[in-house]
């Protein structure tokens, strides 16, 4: 059975996961980090699927990173036993953390304020469970965290360590790496990230505090780091599927992207060179992450139903349930004939944003059989 035949009967829009590409992406990063002698702690926020997590995690049970407590709860129930919830903890959420830990999951939290540290310490004492906490470090001015030499690091470390919690270490996320392009710049950014987190760990240790875990992470830096001395683990998430934003900075090519949205042609505006499909932003997401890159992919890059990129054909506009396909500005390519009822596949700008629009994946299995499997995914908090 061909891929086209396997997909022909799927209601559209539909989210396709190419398992062979996914496994290739997983193997690539594992090989790179094995070579650097550093552990990988995959971030499960992109695919949010137990079936996918089984293929990503070592032995299927961890270590892992999550962005919501809902993810922690679902993956813990599926047997994952070592998780970092990598978004600053709100004190109100600590009862759910305690419940998960009580159920046997070694769940750690992240924080960067004294208020949070005091709340974690107080909860640890109250329930007799030393909640592990990592102090978030700001390595690039991107978002949260303390500067590596901020004296607050030691102050917070003491509140945790002396207050009954477990000071597990330091963690940073170099989100700014998404704005770097090419191997050299990404390697330099990875080194900046490494230097920041190692400095923060030294700050804690110099104060006599423990810092067993030194955690960095972002898909771009994970792939291009040349040396991770002092780092104990790397977190990355979107590498499993890759996407056009990653392709735009040179982390992968479009042929590595394992996710696509299957859509059906529903009309044309020939004068404008438009083909309309039934995948609008409700399916593709509103993410325009390539808008600021050298090549703007609109709302996605169009492939034929077999998954081959059609040169210069992109989703130039999107309404809620309408995608407008056309050639990119300035292209001299010829758009293919796409009659009403024809199917196309659209590569996403941002895998995390597109995937969350769907409740499951139609999986093209890695064995090449083209017998579509269904893997469920979840969302929420």
Residues that bind its own copies (CB under 8 A): 11-13, 45, 67-68, 87-93, 111-113, 115-116, 119, 136, 138, 143-144, 175, 264-269, 276, 278, 281-283, 285-288, 317, 319-322, 324, 339-341, 350, 352-353, 356-359, 379-381
**Nearest-approach distance from CB 236 to its own copies, in angstroms:** 14
Torsion of CA 250, 253, 258, 261, to 10 degrees: 100
**Nearest-approach distance from CB 57 to its own copies, in angstroms:** 20
The closest of 131, 128, 147 to 139, measured between CA atoms, is 147
Shorter beta-carbon distance to its own copies: residue 352 or 363:
352
**Nearest-approach distance from CB 302 to its own copies, in angstroms:** 17
Q: Which two tokens stand for residue 253?
A: 């090519």
Q: What is the CA radius of gyration of the chain?
A: 22
Shorter beta-carbon distance to its own copies: residue 92 or 229:
92
Check if the beta carbon of residue 373 is closer than 8 Å to that of residue 7: no
Tell me phi and psi for residue 152, to 5 degrees: -60, -25
**Nearest-approach distance from CB 340 to its own copies, in angstroms:** 4
Check if the beta carbon of residue 78 is closer than 8 Å to that of residue 48: no
Shorter beta-carbon distance to its own copies: residue 251 or 265:
265
Distance CA(173)–CA(169), nearest Å, equals: 14
Torsion of CA 9, 10, 13, 15, to 10 degrees: -140
Shorter beta-carbon distance to its own copies: residue 336 or 368:
336
Shorter beta-carbon distance to its own copies: residue 150 or 304:
150
- Cα atoms in the 13 Å half-sphere on the side-chain side of 328: 16
**Nearest-approach distance from CB 289 to its own copies, in angstroms:** 9
Shorter beta-carbon distance to its own copies: residue 226 or 374:
374
For residues 45-77, one letter each, b for 16 or more C-beta atoms within 10 angstroms of the residue's C-beta and e for the rest, the string is: bbbbbbbbbebbbeeebbbbbbbbbebbbbbbe
Shorter beta-carbon distance to its own copies: residue 37 or 267:
267
Shorter beta-carbon distance to its own copies: residue 76 or 146:
146
Check if the beta carbon of residue 69 is closer than 8 Å to that of residue 379: no
**Nearest-approach distance from CB 264 to its own copies, in angstroms:** 4
Task: Give the three-class secondary structure for 365.
Answer: coil
**Nearest-approach distance from CB 180 to its own copies, in angstroms:** 17
DSSP H helices, the chain, are 3-7, 19-36, 50-56, 69-77, 94-102, 114-127, 152-163, 183-206, 219-224, 244-248, 281-284, 351-355
Shorter beta-carbon distance to its own copies: residue 38 or 281:
281
**Nearest-approach distance from CB 72 to its own copies, in angstroms:** 12
Task: Give the three-class secondary structure for 147.
Answer: coil
Angle (CA) 44-47-51 rounded to 5° is 90
Distance CA(267)–CA(274), nearest Å, equals: 9
**Nearest-approach distance from CB 287 to its own copies, in angstroms:** 5
Q: Which helix (H) or strand (E) holds 274?
A: strand 274-277
Shorter beta-carbon distance to its own copies: residue 286 or 374:
286
The closest of 272, 330, 344, 338 to 301, measured between CA atoms, is 344
**Nearest-approach distance from CB 348 to its own copies, in angstroms:** 12
């Amino acid at each position: 059975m061909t891929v086209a035949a396997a997909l022909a009967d799927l209601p559209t829009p539909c989210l396709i996961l190419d398992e062979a590409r996914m496994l290739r992406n997983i193997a690539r990063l594992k090989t790179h980090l094995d070579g650097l002698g550093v552990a990988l702690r995959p971030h499960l926020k992109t695919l949010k699927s137990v079936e996918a997590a089984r293929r990503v995690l070592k032995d299927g049970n961890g270590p892992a990173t999550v962005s919501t407590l809902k993810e922690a709860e679902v993956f813990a129930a599926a047997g994952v036993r070592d998780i970092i919830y990598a978004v600053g903890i709100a004190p109100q959420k600590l009862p759910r953390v305690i419940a998960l830990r009580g159920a046997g999951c070694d769940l750690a939290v992240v924080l960067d304020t004294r208020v949070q540290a005091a709340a974690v310490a107080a909860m640890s004492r109250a329930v007799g469970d030393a909640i592990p906490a990592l102090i978030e470090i700001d390595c690039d001015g991107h978002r949260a965290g303390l500067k590596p030499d901020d004296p607050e690091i030691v102050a917070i470390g003491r509140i945790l360590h002396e207050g009954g919690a477990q000071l597990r270490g330091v963690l940073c996320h170099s989100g700014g790496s998404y704005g770097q392009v090419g191997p050299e710049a990404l390697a330099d950014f990875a080194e900046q990230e490494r230097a920041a987190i190692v400095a923060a760990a030294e700050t804690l240790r110099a104060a006599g505090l423990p810092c067993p875990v030194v955690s960095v992470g972002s898909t771009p830096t994970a792939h291009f780091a040349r040396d991770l001395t002092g780092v104990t683990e790397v977190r990355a998430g979107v590498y499993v599927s890759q996407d056009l934003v990653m392709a735009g900075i040179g982390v992968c090519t479009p042929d590595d992207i394992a996710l696509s949205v299957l859509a059906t042609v529903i009309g044309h505006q020939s004068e404008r060179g438009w083909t309309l499909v039934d995948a609008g932003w409700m399916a593709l997401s509103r993410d325009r992450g390539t808008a600021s890159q050298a090549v703007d992919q609109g709302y996605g890059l169009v492939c034929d139903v077999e998954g081959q990129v059609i040169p210069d054909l992109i989703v130039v506009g999107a309404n809620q349930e309408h995608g407008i396909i056309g050639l990119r500005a300035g292209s001299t390519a010829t758009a293919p004939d796409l009659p009403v009822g024809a199917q196309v596949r659209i590569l996403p700008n941002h895998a995390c944003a597109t995937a969350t629009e769907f409740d499951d994946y139609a999986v093209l299995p890695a064995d090449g059989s083209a017998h579509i499997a269904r893997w469920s995914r979840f969302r929420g908090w």
